[in-house]
Amino acid sequence: MYQEHYIKVFRLCKGYFNGDEDLAADATQEIFIKVWQNLDGFRNESSVGTWIYRIAVNTCLLHLRKPSTRKEIKIAALPEQEAGQYNPQVEDQLKKMYACIRQLDETGKMIILMVLEGIDYKDAAEVAGITEDTLRVRIHRIKKNLSNCVQHDSI
Amino acid sequence: MLKTAPPPEELVKKAEKNTQQIKAKHWWNISILSLFIVFLIWFFGYTAGFKISQASAGFLLMILSILLRVVLEYASYAGFSKIEISKSFKEYTEQVTRFYLRRKKIHYLVTPVILLVYITGFILLLPVFRQHLSAGFYTYIIISGTVFFIVFAWFIIKQIKKEMGLLFFLKNIQ
């Protein structure tokens, strides 16, 4: 369970903290300590993954308040590209996209990060505490906002 | 970029240490509160035969105001740890917001009373100090007492600002 979810949770945290790997590693460690401490409270009402993601987003939420988590996105934090495939236009769009994600409200950011992580809509809705239909509507709006933002630099 | 998870044994060790620290902190708080209560019982027993003097009343008010503050902090901490971290984001945000709204009431209603009671206790003690202590020591007590109060109030104001900032942040999420 730990090995399976650690990297996913780490990437989710990294998205929350604008690509800061040190903050993400600290938060991930704290999340799994909480998972370990709350294991007795896991009641099989949802999958273990959903349960871990709930702890992850709630832990990150309280970390987000700290000013140190609101830094600019680091270039090194963007998805790696093969040297031969380097395309300045794609690179620029990716940078813009991550900057736009940073401008979303906290719930929007949490939803899009789960979507980017490939979490099922059903599980993502459970983590967010909204219905699947509401989640789909929100994702549609977020994608529209992100697309506007990438093209015109504003949400 | 982190490619693999640290060994689980390392994490379990840290989690156990963290759990022990939380338990130790809990027992430490309980011990301090128990000591305060024992002291108060002793104080009432000791002064039962006398008419409570201005000095002992002042001293008692100062102790009680600090005790009330410690009890409130401890009760708040216990309340926060009861919020289930594994709830959905929506439920968790709502619960944490409610917690900080209760804290806001404490900060704006109870804290000023605590500070006033503390100052009253200190002022009640001053004539006794003036009567029994040298002028130099009396001045020292006034200065150190005032400095302690300013530091105490500064920490409280800093904490209130931090918590109100968090409350604003949580309300914006909702």
* B30-61 pLDDT tens trace: 788 788 778 777 766 776 555 557 777 888 88
Which of chain B's residues have a Cβ under 8 Å away from the Cβ of A6? 4-5
CATH number, domain of A27, equals 1.10.1740.10
The secondary structure of residue B4, as a DSSP letter, is S
Nearest beta carbon to residue B85 from set A29, A55, A128 = A55
SS3 assignment, position B174: coil
The total domain count for chain A is: 2
Nearest beta carbon to residue A61 from set B14, B86, B93 = B93
pLDDT at A76 over 60: no
The per-residue pLDDT for B97 is 93
For the stretch B137-150, pLDDT in tens is 899 989 998 998 89
Residue with tokens 């400095």: B147
In angstroms, what separates the C-alpha of A89 from chain B's closest C-alpha? 24
Which of chain A's residues have a Cβ under 8 Å away from the Cβ of B8? 2-3
Judge if A10 and A39 occupy the same domain: yes
In angstroms, what separates the C-alpha of A148 from chain B's closest C-alpha? 22
**Domain boundaries, position A91:** 83-155
Judge if A99 and A59 occupy the same domain: no
For the stretch A78-124, pLDDT in tens is 454 444 556 677 777 777 887 888 888 888 988 998 998 889 999 99
Distance CA A63, CA A107 (A): 14
Tokens encoding B141: 């007590």
A 57-76 near B (Cβ less than 8 A): 57-59, 61-62, 64-65
Distance CA A133, CA A136 (A): 5
Nearest to B169 by CA among B114, B111, B96, B107: B96
Is the reported ipTM for this assembly greater than 0.85? Answer: no
Domain boundary among A72, A97, A123: A72
CB distance A110–B18 less than 8 Å?
no
In angstroms, what separates the C-alpha of A73 from chain B's closest C-alpha? 14
Nearest to A120 by CA among A49, A60, A59, A55: A49
Question: Would you put residue A153 in left (φ > 0), alpha (ψ -120 to 50) or beta?
Answer: left
Domain boundary among A72, A102, A125: A72
CB distance A2–B89 less than 8 Å?
no
Which residues of chain B carry a pLDDT beneath 50? none
